[in-house]
Amino acid sequence: MKNELDSKLVLKVFDKIRTHGEQCDEKYRLEGVLAFTDFDGYTLYMQDALVSMQFGFHNQYRFDYQHTQDLEAFEKKLRYIDSHY
């Protein structure tokens, strides 16, 4: 499956999770999505119970998931956060 992730969407959703989400240490949670960065802030991480995403320098990203439907549900959550917050 070829994934065409919009980097602007990722950055907007990450910011919305940090702005509107519940903070726990250096991580933020909103609508079941956990968002945090590495120690230098260059790599962003977002994850739910079934999918994790790493988004880094030069808009490179990687997903870790077992089933395609899990990835689709994760992307749906990201779009929901973007449109409702």
Report the CATH number at residue 43: 3.30.310
Residue 71 lies in a domain: yes
Q: How far is CA 58 from the centre of its chain?
A: 16
The domain total for the chain is 1
pLDDT given for residue 3 in this prediction: 55
Residue 1 lies in a domain: no
22-24, strands of its sheet edge to edge: 22-24, 27-30, 33-37, 44-47, 52-55, 61-64
The dihedrals phi and psi of 9, each to the nearest 5 degrees, come to: -60, -45
For the segment 20-73, what is each residue's pLDDT rounded down to a tens digit? 999 999 999 999 999 999 998 899 999 999 999 999 988 899 999 999 999 999
Confidence bin at 2 (pLDDT 50/70/90): very low
Residue 44 lies in a domain: yes
Residue 2 lies in a domain: no
Residue 1 has pLDDT above 70, yes or no: no
pLDDT given for residue 66 in this prediction: 97
* Eight-state DSSP code of residue 66: S
Contact indicator for 17, 30 with CB cutoff of 8 Å: yes
Q: Which domain holds residue 53?
A: 7-84
Report the predicted TM-score, pTM, of the whole model to 2 decimal places.
Answer: 0.89
Residue 49 lies in a domain: yes
